[in-house]
Amino acid sequence: MWFFALLGCNFEAAPAPGDTAEVVFDVPSGSTARGLADELEDDGLVTSADNWGWFLRLGADGSCLKAGKHRVNRGMTAPELLAALCGVPVADDIPFTVVEGWRRRDIDAALAAQKLIEPGEFVAATEKGSDYSPGFPIPAGSLEGYLFPDTYKVEPDRFDVHTFVERQLHAFGQRFAVAAEGEHGTRPVADVVIVASMIEREEPSKANRPLVAGIMWKRLDANWNLGIDATSRYTLEDWNNEPAFLHQLFDATDRYNTRVRGGLPPTPIGNPGIESLNAAMHPEATEYWYYLHDASGMIHPSRTVKEHDALKRKWLH
């Protein structure tokens, strides 16, 4: 060591003493301390790649290196830098929550609001299910209904929209498609998902969702119109736009108008959570054909149109 010192070399020196400006340095998995020499020099964190190499050769232990992002600065000496790179990496991921019932456009807006994507990127990435192969059946078209609601940890500087969609599909498979295989009886999974999406929007109480599911399936099996108002909101840019909603209710050309059109809407009307999916798979058999909610959200089922009208007069006027 004294020989090099006589030559005026200090392999432990800081490249910019006094510079405390934070630099985030990423140590890739599988890296070695010596293998990072060029990157450290490029980022101005060591005086030179050769000096860093000599620092390690002269006894510094680089085997403690931890993969991940580390906050360092150019005022650090080589021993200080190595200690930082051997420390616990900074947590660089953030939680992103997909709310149960959100539509593709709602997820897109939330991602864009957090600067994770440009507006429209998520909708475009979920337009064709044929672009993905999750290992279970999904629609060839829109992935609405299959983008599982959950809280995901994401890395803002590495966010990839297609990877995120794959994660959502994987979660759907793990939590429902694979886990519940065979439990939907003779009902096609696609129909179960559509019914679950309507339940998600129609019934706030998880305890009452099997009841609502039973009424929906009962009406479908009897070839009755579903009469689900939530379906007429699906194509609105703003779900709560009341004037636009009222217009949709009387638009017989709207494919999602289940008041005037029979059968299921053409796609799910959002992405249901596991409680609604389970309710759609395990509906409760009752004598009821109708239901409504009062101002507090309490459900009131009825057996006949006469009972239903009486409940309307009682709770909605």
Sorted by where each begins, the domain ranges of the chain are 2-85, 94-177, 189-286
Q: How confident is the model at residue 6 (pLDDT cuts 50, 70, 90)?
A: very low
How far are the Cα atoms of 48, 49, 68, 247, 272 from residue 41, in angstroms, in the given order? 5, 5, 18, 64, 50
Return the sign of the alpha-carbon dihedral for residues 260, 264, 225, 290: negative
Q: Is the pLDDT of residue 5 over 70?
A: no
- 203 Cβ contact partners less than 8 Å away, ≥ 6 residues apart: 209, 211, 212, 299
Q: Is the pLDDT of residue 251 over 70?
A: yes
Position 1 scores a pLDDT of 42
Q: Is the pLDDT of residue 51 over 60?
A: yes
Angle between helices 274-281 and 209-221 (to 10 degrees): 50
Q: How far is CA 185 from the centre of its chain?
A: 28
**What ranges in 173-255 are assigned the alpha helix state H?**
189-202, 209-221, 242-249
What's the rounded mean pLDDT across residues 126-132?
A: 97
| 90 vs 271: which has the higher pLDDT | 271
Angle between helices 189-202 and 274-281 (to 10 degrees): 120
Q: How confident is the model at residue 183 (pLDDT cuts 50, 70, 90)?
A: low
Burial code (b: 16+ CB inside 10 Å, e: under 16) for 94-132 equals: eebebebbbbbbbbbbbbeeeebbeeeebbebbeebeeb
φ, ψ for residue 77 (rounded to 5)? -75, 170
Report the predicted TM-score, pTM, of the whole model to 2 decimal places: 0.74
Q: How confident is the model at residue 2 (pLDDT cuts 50, 70, 90)?
A: very low
Residues 155, 93: contact at Cβ < 8 Å? yes
Position 219 scores a pLDDT of 98
What pLDDT digit, counting tens, does each position of 141-170 carry? 999 999 999 999 898 888 999 999 999 999
Please write down the long-range contacts of 233-236, taking CB distance under 8 Å and 24 or more positions apart.
Answer: 233/201, 233/269, 234/103, 234/265, 234/269, 234/270
Q: How confident is the model at residue 74 (pLDDT cuts 50, 70, 90)?
A: very high
What pLDDT digit, counting tens, does each position of 218-249 carry? 999 999 999 999 999 999 999 999 999 999 99
**Rounded distance between C-alpha atoms, residue 154 and residue 157, angstroms:** 9
**What ranges in 58-97 are assigned the alpha helix state H?**
78-85
Position 287 scores a pLDDT of 97
- 276 Cβ contact partners less than 8 Å away, ≥ 6 residues apart: 100, 196, 197, 199, 200, 209
**Rounded distance between C-alpha atoms, residue 44 and residue 156, angstroms:** 24
Average pLDDT, the chain: 91
302 forms beta bridges with: 290
Topology classification of domain 2-85: Dna Ligase; domain 1 (3.30.1490)
| 196 vs 70: which has the higher pLDDT | 196
| 4 vs 185: which has the higher pLDDT | 185
